């Protein structure tokens, strides 16, 4: 009896390991011609042929909103992000010439400006394990990046 219980516990723990890591073949977004939004992680900024690109892994997430009250009674809303799945395939999308970046602050970025490129590169590198939301236009270019705060 003890052996069967131990065996069940071991199987349960090993069965949960893969789901807990959440790394698999998540389905990204279909290659269509409409505007779309995708969630990503592990972003890497890259320049090819004087164009900015972001290489990334897709992430399937669920977002809940929680009302939080601090010790002084001030109430605010916060996103609770639950990562369901992270793709093991790396994708790449081109940055639009002008795009919006939102974190705790909003910043308009000109992807052809060197200081804006450095800002975006440093921001993505410093937050590579965070979840980001990309808005993509009909030309399959990134027009907006939003960082989910954890």
Tell me the per-residue pLDDT of 42-65, one tens digit each, with 9 for 90 and over.
Answer: 999 998 898 889 999 999 988 888
How far is Cα 8 from Cα 114, in angstroms, rounded to an integer? 57
Global model pTM greater than 0.75: no
% of the chain exceeding 70 in pLDDT = 78
How far is Cα 79 from Cα 67, in angstroms, rounded to an integer? 9
User: Hey, is 125 helix, strand or coil?
Assistant: helix
Instruction: Identify which of 90, 69, 68 has the alpha carbon closest to the alpha carbon of residue 78.
Output: 68
Residue 30's pLDDT is: 52
Length of the chain counted residue by residue: 150
Domain boundaries, the chain: 22-147
Average pLDDT score, the chain: 78
Report the sign of the C-alpha dihedral through residues 140, 114, 48, 23, in that order: negative
On the question of pLDDT at 8 being above 60, the answer is no
Strands (E), 9-131: 23-24, 36-48, 51-69, 75-102, 106-110
């Amino acid at each position: 009896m003890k052996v069967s219980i131990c065996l069940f516990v071991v199987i349960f723990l090993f069965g949960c390991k893969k789901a807990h890591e959440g790394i698999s073949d998540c389905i990204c977004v279909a290659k269509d011609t409409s505007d779309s939004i995708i969630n990503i992680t592990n972003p890497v900024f890259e320049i090819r042929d004087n164009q900015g690109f972001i290489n990334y892994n897709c992430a399937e997430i669920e977002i809940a909103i929680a009302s939080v009250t601090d010790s002084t009674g001030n109430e605010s809303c916060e996103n609770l992000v639950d990562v369901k799945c992270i793709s093991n395939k790396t994708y790449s999308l081109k940055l639009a010439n002008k795009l919006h970046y939102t974190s705790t602050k909003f910043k308009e970025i000109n992807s052809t400006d060197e200081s804006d490129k450095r800002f975006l590169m440093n921001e993505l590198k410093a937050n590579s394990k965070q979840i980001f939301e990309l808005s993509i236009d009909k030309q399959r270019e990134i027009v907006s990046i939003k960082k989910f705060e954890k």
